[in-house]
Structure 1
């Protein structure tokens, strides 16, 4: 691997981490020595890369720093296409148009030798035929999460028992057969998962919940044993 390619790979690794990452971890990923990572970090910083941190504490790439457009490999394009197709076919097709638009935009700027044709796929995503219908508007839920509003819901559990809750919605999880809402429940004084197709009413309140959404999400991930990349450890 050339040094210029290694520097680009190092930037990409840093961009994938939201929290400081150690030089030891970076050296393992790039199969080089820790000393080499220190030199490469110094080189990138001198060239304008907004990398913060120091030896022994870890490094992080500031969110404001943007990398120049990079060429996708064929394998990376296959992953993007597979992911977009999966999202488009899940849970009532809520993101079908958005996913198709994203695929079209990516395809429009790719050289001919990097195009991905549907009939050349070796992996495809199956359609989900039976999906529970939502009685509430998903866009309204997304807006409530973004605005950080407390919300009153009527929830029907698996035994058909209905309860009224005041929740702090923080995240929507997309699964094959349904959406799941992660929220702090004031009634239970704990994080709870709610299937969206079992929420019969959704009434945002005029009150923001006290914690930041990012802080709540981080706390939920710690409780669930989920790392920053969304993988359970």
Structure 2
């Protein structure tokens, strides 16, 4: 299966700006992207990066579409019905009538979690994120389209019902944890095992456990 990984190269991870400089945020975002691509490849699937600007990535195709997330992904999904869509063309994205979408900041993703998502039955498979978002999808219905604004998990269930698609929800800590806020860095140090965790450790971040709460501190 082709797994599309949307990646925003402009000012990535702005909510981490209180802990990371702009150049550090770029480097950390690239590390998370690498972890997601590695998990997809190790699971036996083929990633393609859908980037807002050119980005050099080894072992994965890159397609540039500078539109916002929703129209860019919907241009990909339009290919499920055999049309060319209205975005950049890339071959084989909807082979066998299915395509997956996984966010680039799922730093805890593992091959096992990706396999659970890809192997789940249903014409629309959803891995919810914390706070009502949608972190990963498998789409096997030609009429389904995404809407990533607001509580997208709820919206995607509604859209699936409207087009007559069956929905399967994959409950996975690894896929539900997207790294957006400074508090999320602790999750990477606790549960990560790839480039993202390595980057944080090399940047001086360590776990800080006080009063039963887990956070991070950075060495001076």
When normalised by structure 2's length, the TM-score is 0.26
When normalised by structure 1's length, the TM-score is 0.25
Higher relative contact order (CA 8 A, sep 6+): 2
